[in-house]
Amino acid sequence: MKISILTLFPEMFSIFEHSIIGRARENKLVDLSLLNIRDYTLNKHKKLAKELSKEENLIFLCGHYEGIDERVYKHIDMEISLGDFVLTGGEMAAIPVIDSILRLIPGVLGKEESFMEESFYNGLLEYPQYTRPEDFEGDKVPEVLLSGHHENIRKWRRFKSLEVTKKKRPDLYKNIILTKEDIKILKNNKDE
């Protein structure tokens, strides 16, 4: 199997150089291709995580192969599952959980607003993101985002978050309590 990973931080995937996956790569059973997306740019230069980010100390016990010794469970306060699938080890599951917690600690991202608009923070998926160039092979950044009108941009982002959540995660959308402004934004954009 060949998997290509496009990322700004290919070194973060060095975990795949070890243990079972590392051996599978050595035996040519798996081909992981890591591509630093900066090499291809013009410019080189209601989550559980919220609660856990307020803790002073956390300990993650990463099971491997068959799991952990049953006798240890009496010392465990909480088990976290990422979903209904099996991984080669608990380390792989711990990485996204720890990352989601650490980014909520004040100062880690630089400013609090960085995480407050992101997916799931307010129960919605995040609005679409755009970078340079403004026109990529005829696919253009929406005009409202280029307007400089902050209020219109905020409303567009809210509408898109509501729209994307309704389309991709109806289970989340049905639990959203729409504000008066949300209802007005949805009504004003119903033709989009």
Q: What is the pLDDT along the chain (192 residues), one digit of tens a residue?
A: 888 887 777 888 898 899 888 888 999 998 888 877 667 655 554 578 889 999 989 888 888 777 788 888 899 999 888 888 888 888 888 888 888 888 888 878 776 555 555 555 578 899 999 988 999 999 999 999 999 999 999 999 999 999 999 999 998 899 899 999 999 999 998 776
Do 66 and 83 lie in a common domain?
A: yes
Do 68 and 15 lie in a common domain?
A: no
Domain endpoint, select from 110, 127, 159: 110
Residue 79 covered by a domain: yes
Residue 31 covered by a domain: yes
Would you tell me the crossing angle of helices 180-188 and 150-168 to the nearest 10 degrees?
Answer: 90
Residue 53 covered by a domain: yes
Domain endpoint, select from 77, 110, 143: 110
Q: Tally the domains of the chain.
A: 3
pLDDT score of 45: 44
Q: Residue 158 sits in which domain range?
A: 135-188
Contact status, residue 140 vs residue 131, Cβ threshold 8 Å: no
Which three-class secondary structure state does DSSP give residue 41?
A: coil
pLDDT score of 139: 95
CA 20 from chain centre, in angstroms, equals 25
Do 12 and 32 lie in a common domain?
A: yes
Do 147 and 165 lie in a common domain?
A: yes
Residue 80 covered by a domain: yes
Do 52 and 36 lie in a common domain?
A: no
17: left (phi over 0), alpha (psi -120 to 50) or beta: alpha
Do 27 and 66 lie in a common domain?
A: no
Report the CATH number that the domain containing residue 139 is assigned in CATH.
Answer: 1.10.1270.20
